[in-house]
Chain A
Amino acid sequence: MTSASLRSRLFLILVAATGVIWLFAIGWIYVGTKQEVESVLDARLQEAARMVASLGTSKNIARSSVEAEMDGPAETLIYERQLACQIWSLDGRLVARSRGAPISNLGDTQTGFSERRIEGESWRVFTLEDTDKGLRVLVGDRLGAREHIVTDIIKGLLAPTLLIVPLLGFLIWSSLNRGLRPLRSLALELQQRQADDMSPVETERAPAEILPMMDALNALFSKVESARRHEREITAFAAHELRTPLAGLRTQAQVAIGTSDPDARGSALRQIMIAVDRTTRLVRQLLDIANLDALQNPRRDAHVNAGAIIEEMIESQPAHDGLRVEVDPVLNWITLTANAELLLLALRNLFENAVQHTAPRGILRWTVERRPGEIVVAIEDEGPGIPPDELPLVTHRFYRGRHKTASGSGLGLAIAELALHANGARLNLVNRADHTGLRAEVILPARTEALPGGGAELAPAFESGLATTSS
């Protein structure tokens, strides 16, 4: 299993931490107890030595009576036979010893505490010299017995531990299970979800720790859902927009096949041509919109001459007989910093829109104008304009207003706006004040050093050019 279980990990961490703390505590208690036991027993040794010394003199101590007095039972419990006592005269004669004490000298000649091995056992001995009485009192106890005391205390602590550890483990495990229940139920809910179910996950009873994750999940759901809805709408609209010309094509084809009148057949075939051209343009525009939707941070660092790009765009369009297109020569003095392809796409769609709405022998005019911080390239047509209530709607995809034309798809202005936004520019549509018709303005930020990216720059001659046109 490669995925780590949160529960097992928490369990291991908690159990290990508890175990380490427990062991540390035991170690602490061991060391502390040992020191305490040693100091208590050392004090007892000292006290016992003084007691013996105060009782006895070299004169009144009979050699064997002391031995007899200090006798205890032969085999007793270890704690009851801890101490051993020897009384030596200063000239090195063993005066008396307690039973169980070794015959050989317990300590060396110095006074105070010492440790030594006698007959395979370690002893701790306190030596007291009383020069007045001519006695040396040695009291000792076995180090083994001391260890035993400490070990017994530790054993007393460990025995319940062995019982408590499994209990603690069980408690930790079950509380982890309880604590992780919301996660499990969330996982289960997500597992049982249908692929197209994008409804938000219930967060009311979610614990605070997983709330951010669930909120993020819900935000993702809603994002995916809106993207999908958008896509569905586009597909449905595209289907509608394609099916209608297809129906027209089929009907006209059936008329052309079925009629015996050559004029009617000719007319049907001409209509078929029109429908094919329109459908082709629609498909191209659908592709443009799909490309613009997928576009991310296009490069917009090409230097484009405004006049040249407009001329190039007009030349690539089929000839529209009777229409006159005027291009303000000042445009040739303007350099736009933009993505040339996207700019061309926007200008072409604006131009097509203007052409569609202008009657034969009408005039289309490309103009340019400078506003504070902005350069405005505009195309003016002589069509009916756009009713004011429709102005905010016409850049919506597939929106076709009351003044729509036969060949319009409802996509041109939407494409122009998208392509301009991708260029850092914007589209502004106004009805002309001087004539019926629409003025479509491409507004580009005037380029300054501080503003990289899209922009426009005026050649010095522009100022004089503007002066000439305005005078």
Chain B
Amino acid sequence: MRILVIEDDPVLSDGLRAGLRMLGATLDIVANCADGRAALSASEFDALVLDLMLPDGSGLGLLADMRARGDRTPVLLLTALDEISDRVKGLDAGADDYLGKPFDLDELGARLRAISRRQTGRASPFLSCNGIVLDPAHMSVVANGQVMRLSRREFAVLGALMERPGLLRSKSMLEERLYGWQEEVESNTVEVHIHKLRAKLGRNVIETVRGLGYRMRVGTQ
């Protein structure tokens, strides 16, 4: 899951970076509306965590602009203003969820998984394909009845491919899922992770479409 956080408090940002990473997400963090708009136009995110009181304006304005543009990225408002009227205003402006500060990190993670799951149109919290079941909440993968041990990045690549089995994912799209902007992208990493996944799950699970990308193989076995 790649998540954009727009939050101006450095300690909280740092905590979110470390905490959501532990939960298997990739984070990009910006501290104001202008940088947030730039990030949203540059990349696709699975979810946006948005603070309301930002130094250069209200998060609600940014949210309204996003929705007016037709941007359907799920948005979770994370703010100190959590009167009922504030919540109603936020949800009516197009937010998918609302969490008042201070909050529980696990709850934040669960809510983010829930809103991004709804975005892809799935009802089940699990992703499954060809006997492989992926549980995003516990970062666990069961293949043919056996629990697999995957690294954080292997899990992220597999999760991205399993969201839409059979749909092609380009290498750069997978890289975006793996790395925030601040992280250095190593060449061949995606290939390395695919290679490891194939070794763990079986050679034919992931199909390479030369020059275009990767997809889950559907309907074999």
Contact = CB atoms under 8 A, between A and B. Distances in A.
Interface string A381-411: 0000000000000000000111010100000
Contact of A240 (B80, B103, B104, B105): B80
Interface string A322-340: 0000000000000000000
A278 B11 contact: yes
A400 B53 CA distance: 11
Contact of B12 (A251, A264, A401): A251
Interface in B1-44: 8-12, 14-16, 18-19, 22
Contacts of B118: none
Nearest to A258: B22
Contacts of B53: 240
Nearest to B83: A236
13 contacts: A236-B81, A241-B80, A248-B9, A248-B11, A248-B15, A251-B15, A251-B105, A255-B22, A258-B19, A258-B22, A267-B18, A401-B55, A404-B8
Interface-centre pick from A247, A252, A267 (highest chain B CB count, 10 A)? A247
B82 to A, nearest CB: 8
Interface residues of B, number: 25
Q: How large is the interface on A (under 10, 10 to 19, 20 to 34, 35 or more residues)?
A: 20 to 34
A250 B55 contact: no
A245 B15 contact: no
A243 B102 contact: yes
A259 interface: yes
B55 A400 contact: yes
A258 B53 CA distance: 29
Interface of B: 8-12, 14-16, 18-19, 22, 53, 55-56, 78-81, 100-106
Given A245-B12, A268-B15, 8 more contacts: A243-B101, A244-B80, A248-B11, A250-B105, A251-B15, A254-B19, A258-B105, A274-B11
Interface of A: 236, 239-252, 254-255, 258-259, 264, 267-268, 271, 274-275, 278, 400-402, 404, 406
Interface of B is mostly: mixed
B102 A250 contact: yes
Contacts of A245: 9, 11-12
A48 to B, nearest CB: 105
A255 B17 CA distance: 10
A401 B53 CA distance: 12
Given A245-B11, A268-B18, A274-B11, A404 B55 contact: yes
A251 B9 CA distance: 12
Contacts of B9: 244-245, 247-248, 406
Contacts of B79: 240
A251 B19 contact: yes
B22 A247 contact: no
Contacts of A251: 12, 15-16, 19, 102-103, 105
B70 to A, nearest CB: 29
Nearest to B19: A255
A243 B14 contact: no
A330 B98 CA distance: 57
